[in-house]
Structures are given as structure tokens and as C-alpha cells.
A and B are shown apart, each in its own frame.
Chain A
Amino acid sequence: MTEEAYNFAYLNEQTKRMIRRAILKGLATPGYQVPFASREMPMPYGWGTGGVQVSAATLTPEDTFKVIDQGADDTTNAVSIRKFVERTAGIATTTKTSDAKVIQTRHRIPEAPLTEDQILIYQVPIPEPLRFLEPRETETRKMHSREDYGLMHVKLYEDIAQHGHIATPYAYPVRVEGRYLMDPSPIPKFDTPKMEMAAIQLFGAGREQRIYALPPYTKVTPLDFEDPFDPSKAPHPCGLCGAEDAYLDEVITDDTGRRMFVCSDTDYCETRREAGHRGKDAA
């Protein structure tokens, strides 16, 4: 049950209408960042204020909600946002990817493929992919309107010239339907190819006051040269469940520098272990 003092999902109705209009314009122009009047939320910037506002405007009383932070359901950020939504919207929550209708995520896409019924909402710190190359909003806005993305290609080329490969392991810039250059939020580039999916994807940046969106099956192309895009991951199976296909976190296990690699998607790992899969470090 919602606590009496709160409107459904915390935000007032006028704010939700404003966010909803921005979401619709975002879906109409995939990859374009729609400005919106971001509200102060009862959590600091950088903790998902944008994602929470988009979630609050999107959730219905019948939804089941899941929150992940770097793939995990049980980290501080995920737990506090889940509790916030439970308290202010009074809706069901889950940690199972397949049971969730709306999933708010910080920096990962779940390993299990999402379905047509699901909505994935990203927390975005810096929505402008050109921001570190061009700090002026007036200029980046012109660059987007003119499709002037040469600067980003130069940046990727300089990576190759300096490191021998494109040293951008996360937040890898993508082109949406051949038009807008988009920041996929700081997901590892391992996740980038998953962005062409059946679910609706919404992106909220609270401090930067931007919302953008990808309708299902929208073409999302990682920026690259003739050398193919490489969705890299640690070359190990998961230590707990043995998965070969999942993105891994490196965990230091003692003072002598011993380490193990485990799935970053905790629900995926647990589901596999329940099904009897075992990795080499499983107890």
C-alpha cells in the first residue's frame, strides 16, 4: 500500500505529465536527448535521480519492478531505489528478470533477453556523448542538428593510434538508425549489441535534465571503422555458475591477490546455479 502522504510513485501529476510528454517525444526521435525539467529527488545526483523520475512517470499500479546496479539486485543503490518505489508506489518488486515488467538499471543490461512486455530504464550520468570532446552545449547541439560527428571518429582513431585498439570499454558511442549519436550510458561495450531488443528502452539523466529513448528493434550501431566492433569481456567462465557467455566482474578474494571472475548479473548467476550449473570456485 502507498503511504497516505505520497502521491502514487512520489511525483506530482503535473511533473509526471511533463516527463511523459518528454518520453513520447524521445520515442518519436530515437537517440535525441529531450530536455526536461528534472526535479529534486530525495537522493543525491549520481544515484539515479533521472532513472527514478522516468520510472515514476512510467510505472502503473499493476507493474512488477526490478532495480539493478552494475547487474546486482543487492547493492546499496538498487536496494534503496527498490525500497523507495515500494514505499511511494506500493507496487510489487522482484529480483527475477523474467518476472519484472519495468527494470531500472545502472550500467548493465540483464543477460537474459528481454521480451516485448518489458521496459528497461537506464540511469544516465552524462547523456551527451560529445561532452568530453566539446564542453559547450550550444556547440554540441549544433553538431547533433548537423550530424557532425567527425570529432568522435577522431577520438576513436586516437585511441587506436595510442593503444593499438579502441580503449573505450564502457559507454561506447552508438549511432541510432543512422541518425543521432547516442551515449548508451556507462554499460560495458559487451552489452552494446544487446541494445537492439524487443523491449522499450528509456534513458533518464537527472542532473543533466535529459530524457531519451529507443523503441523496440531500433537499429543501434556501435561507431567503428573497418575493423569490427569488439564487445570484449574477461576471458574466463564465471567462477560460480560456469557461464561462458556472461559479462564478468573481477573480485579480489584475499590479501595475496588471488581473484575470481563472477557474473555481474546476479539474477542470471543465481538462476543458473539453481538449475545445477557449477563453476570452478563454487563452494
Chain B
Amino acid sequence: MQTPSLQGGFAEPAREAAMVFRDIMTAMARPGQIETVAPGLGIAPLSDAAAAVVLTLCDADTKLYLTPRHDTEALRRWIAFHTGVPLTGPQEADFALGAWDDLTPLNRFRPGTADYPDQSATLIVECEALDPQGAMLSGPGIQSTTELSLPEVKAFRRNAQQFPLGLDFIFTAGVQLAAPPRSTKVT
């Protein structure tokens, strides 16, 4: 009997989630730095890194938006079984998951409010690959400048201009992730 929704996930949630969170935290504290998670966590079309982020951060207290290409019956079942996170539209989402072209335009997502800039969406962006070259990043967490392959520059520049409001990003490809938040200036 095939039960794909039971595949993957954490065998030892407390320890594995701690390891993955350290990777995500390091990536977000040091924008542009590429971290590697353990393989074998996800099911198609999810990368292991994106699966790790969903398993570590999403639960019944959050809301997740799946872009149409990721909104498959199999993935819905898998996410429901492992996390219990309710699915929602882009306007209410705490987390959104999909490829860059499916996530844009970004103004559909919540950037937080002036009083509560933390009430903003985090976008989990599935990519083909992550490279330490491309757009130039600077800002908190970066000593001078660093480079990261980003899908475009304009959207990130506009996002950073809204600071302290804005969206935070976790780019995932295979077992790798990088996480430039809104505070990162992109040129």
C-alpha cells in the first residue's frame, strides 16, 4: 500500500527540528550564506530544504499559502499529516511556498504594520540552484558585502525600502537554503 503522505518528515522531531532551525537562523542572520539541511525530508515537488522549513516553522498556529503549481492533493495531505498547518490565500498567509514566478506579484502578501512589523509573511521560494554569486547584498548580518543568486533585483530593492515593514525570504534548492530578510539591501 502506498502512503506518500507518511513519507519523509522528522524521525526525531525535537533534535532534527533544532538542527534545521539552527540552519535557518544562521541563514537569516547572515544573509547570503548558504546552509545545508539533512536529505530525505520531503516529497515531490517539495525540495528537502523547503520541506525542512515547513516542518520546523509551520503548525496549527500559522497559515500557509501554496502557489497553484505546489497545490497538489499529495502535498496537501503530506503537509496536513506532518504539520497540521491550515492552508489559506496569499493575503492571510504567514508562510507562502512556491517558485518565484508563482509567488509574484509580492504585494499580495502581508508586509506587517507600522506597530507590528513582525506580522509579515515569510516566503519560501523554491529555486533550481543557489549560488554565492549574482546580486550584491549588504546590511545587518553582512560584514561588508556578499553575493547571492536572486531571481531579480527590483522586487528586493522595493521590499527593503519599506523597512521596517516587508517580506522575509527563504530560498530553497535541493538540500540548500539561503534567507535574506527585509533588512538586506540588494543592488
Contact = CB atoms under 8 A, between A and B. Distances in A.
Interface of A: 7-9, 13-14, 16-18, 20-30, 32, 34-35, 57-62, 141-142, 145-146, 177, 179-180, 198, 200, 213-219
Given A8-B15, A32-B117, A145-B114, A215 B29 contact: yes
A1 to B, nearest CB: 13
A14 B56 CA distance: 10
Given A13-B17, A198-B143, A215-B31, 7 more contacts: A16-B21, A24-B28, A27-B28, A28-B168, A29-B183, A215-B140, A219-B140
A7 B15 CA distance: 9
Contacts of A34: 118
A54 to B, nearest CB: 11
B145 to A, nearest CB: 11
A22 B31 CA distance: 17
A21 B83 CA distance: 15
B24 interface: yes
Given A9-B14, A218-B140, A24 B168 contact: yes
21 contacts: A17-B58, A17-B61, A20-B24, A24-B24, A25-B118, A25-B168, A27-B141, A27-B181, A29-B117, A58-B22, A146-B114, A177-B140, A177-B183, A179-B164, A198-B143, A200-B26, A215-B28, A215-B140, A217-B140, A217-B143, A218-B140
Contacts of B22: 58, 60
B164 A180 contact: yes
Given A8-B18, A34-B118, A60-B19, A18 B61 contact: yes
